[in-house]
Chains A and B, each alone.
Chain A
Amino acid sequence: MTSPTKAEGSGPAVALDPELAATSEVDKPKTLEGRSPGQLMWQRFRRDRTGMICAGVVIFYFVIALCAPLMTALSGTNPYTLYGQDPTYVDTNPILDDFGLPLGYFGGVSGDHWFGVEPQYGRDLFAMLMYGMRTSLYMALGVTVLLMVTGVIIGLIGGYFGGRTDYWIGRVTDFFLAFPQQLFFIAFMPVVTAFFVDPQEETPTYFRAVAILIVLWLLGWMGMARLVRSTVLSLREREFVEAAKVSGASPWRIVRKEILPNVVSPILVQFTYQLPSTILTIAFLSFAGVGFVEPTPDWGRLFAAGARYAEQDPAFMFFPGLALVIFILCFNLLGDSVRDAFDPKSGR
């Protein structure tokens, strides 16, 4: 990636890369300290504008989601109150017409309800989106971390020990891959729930979250395991692993000190691709009606509702949709940038 200053090319040679020049000048008088591949990657990443902007946007989303109560405090709304039916609000400030559709423009956008309101109930879309993002993002984060950890452990074991171990782990992986995932999500969610909770009683929300976590985790670790396994297989044959063996290192030490640091970059890249797709999967679950249910605010459920209202109030879909598109786009671009930063030769 050519830095902008380099591309101009008219300035003196010293100013080629102010950032690099500055760091090396600071370094020289002290000690000769090399930059690790990680530091180099960070430096390349910082020069990638798209990556930096996308990283900013993604962090912004996570902060917003984490601060959902703060945001709703600012807007003075909450995601559970039925502003269109509650008499205290209906009398002072009616927001729905006789047909249950929002008054005003663009789904009822106003000073009180920044992103408009939901038809029929009159719930505040801004508050619902904030809380919905919180549910989705942190669920996805949890699921992805679980997937990654499981995949890395299984991949490391299969790749490093090889032979029979690898064969059986590979067959188990194939077995799980053979499940039609989305069908199983839909079919399995009620089963898992019924397994732990008496069907007579109402399923607590936290348990719905746990069930989603379990199902997505069981059916999602295979990709990561395969990636790590293939990386480890090629690393295992490298001579530095043999050098460690010659010095008498234990398999555990070799995995930890020699192999794991070298798998970090593919793991990180895979993570940045996996997270947005997990968000979409969770949204899909809620959309299909097996994820979170009323009244838990959730990104996916907003789309399900939006689809219902699409004919009368298409604006309802606008803000959640735009938010999701921007988020997924930025996260995927961020993934590309991270990959480019780790391996500048592989990209464009």
Chain B
Amino acid sequence: MSDNLTLPAQQGPTDASTETLLEVQGLTKHFPIYGGFPIKRKVGAVQAVDGVDLTVGVGESVGLVGESGCGKSTTGRLITRLLEPTAGKINYMGQDITHASRRQLAPVRSEIQMIFQDPYSSLNPRQTVGSIIKSPMEVNGIEPEGGQEKKVRELLELVGLNPEHYNRFPHEFSGGQRQRIGVARALALNPKLIVADEPVSALDVSIQAQVVNLLQKVQQELGIAFLFIAHDLAIVRHFSQRVAVMYLGKVVEVGDRDSIYNRPRHPYTHALLSAVPEVAVDDEAGDKERIRLYGDVPSPISPPSGCRFRTRCWKAQDKCASEEPPLLQLSGNRDGHLTACHFPEDPTTEARAEDVVLDPALKALEKDTADDTESKPAKD
């Protein structure tokens, strides 16, 4: 395997941006579990995020993908400091904000904003749209030119809502419109970084495109960096310049969009890409590799030793259990494309000689149908 490795190149933003806005090193969040009677003590921890390294450049949009429960949202919440990190470092513009208090954070607060997943719970039902968008400005004491109300109207217009809806209440809007209000609120402080925590997964498909396009417009026109957390790979591909793939609290592969989608190395990335359902427009659907994993993500309370993906990996060997693979640039990868794997896959998503089907039920099912089709002509 040594021929596969090169120097541990520093993960960095792509050529689009040179400056680093946010740098996360070894970010860890363990949620303690208490038990015992009569005195409760810590009996374990949910290792939701366990050593995540990530950088976001100025004006860059980074996608964070992975299956449910792998720690994507927790990472987002740690970066916006809604949660207190257990370990690791968060650097924003060279300033360490890992354990900054609310007062210390005040100057940075306005520059890191968040868009939430559920547009139905992220807007206070008792406030008008105007006061929802205005309140971040009030909190930070920002008085824009022409007053806060004018700014709110501009923001509403920017996100494609009627500025006259200023005095309406959230319950009078649809899900997509509510999410736009959430976007307007995030933009109210002219942030430099927006953490979007699955901003479109609660919306129906026709609205998803609108909101993603709005975010893209915002990103390009205002030069805001995005950390785009999603489980929909197609949307991340559409939106992000760089993509990080997470599995069970760790980043397993990170790289520019093209590398991740067309030249993935980590088996998990292969599996994830292969799981994207695609509508076969013509007959070219057959030339993609097919990998079906089996089972669920292991419990983050006691994650597997070594490589965390080894329990579901078809290439796992003894080494995977004993040694944790570092996040490195493999030979043949582009700059900034890092993979954490001892036995990486070929950098292609082309169909392979034999499908990887790990699910015994699916395997049996497919065997049956194959037998049926074979035996049927014989019967006739």
Contacts and interface: CB of A to CB of B under 8 A. Distances in A.
B168 to A, nearest CB: 3
B174 interface: no
Contact of B121 (A33, A240, A246): A240
B304 interface: no
Contacts of A248: 102, 105-106, 109-110, 136, 139-140
A261 interface: yes
B116 A36 contact: no
A239 B105 CA distance: 20
B61 interface: no
Interface stretch (B17-25, B125-133, B346-354): B125-133
Contact of A250 (B102, B128, B171): B102
Interface string B125-150: 11111001001100110000000000
A338 B168 CA distance: 23
Contacts, number: 89
Contacts of B127: 257, 261
A243 interface: yes
B190 to A, nearest CB: 13
Interface string B76-118: 0100101000000000000000000010011001101110111
Contact of A243 (B122, B162, B169, B171): B122
A34 B139 contact: no
A244 interface: yes
Interface residues on B, range: 35 or more
Interface in B42-77: 77
B126 A32 contact: no
B113 A247 contact: yes
A32 B82 contact: no
Nearest to A264: B126
A301 to B, nearest CB: 44
A245 interface: yes
B161 to A, nearest CB: 11
A238 B110 CA distance: 21
Given A37-B125, A239-B121, A258-B124, A245 B168 contact: no
B246 interface: no
B169 A35 contact: yes
Residue of B125, B126, B128, B185 ringed by the most chain A CB atoms within 10 A: B126
Given A239-B117, A240-B121, A253-B139, A245 B128 contact: no
A242 interface: yes
Given A239-B116, A247-B139, A32 B122 contact: no
A262 B135 contact: no
A32 B123 contact: no
Top 10 closest pairs, chain A to chain B, by CB? A34-B168, A247-B136, A248-B109, A239-B122, A261-B126, A239-B116, A33-B167, A240-B124, A32-B164, A34-B169
21 contacts: A34-B165, A34-B168, A34-B169, A36-B169, A238-B122, A239-B117, A239-B122, A240-B132, A242-B114, A242-B122, A243-B116, A246-B82, A246-B112, A246-B114, A247-B110, A248-B140, A249-B139, A250-B139, A257-B127, A261-B124, A261-B127
Interface of A: 31-38, 238-240, 242-250, 253, 257-258, 261-262, 264
Interface of B: 77, 80, 82, 102, 105-106, 109-110, 112-114, 116-118, 121-129, 132, 135-136, 139-140, 162, 164-169, 171-172, 182, 185, 189
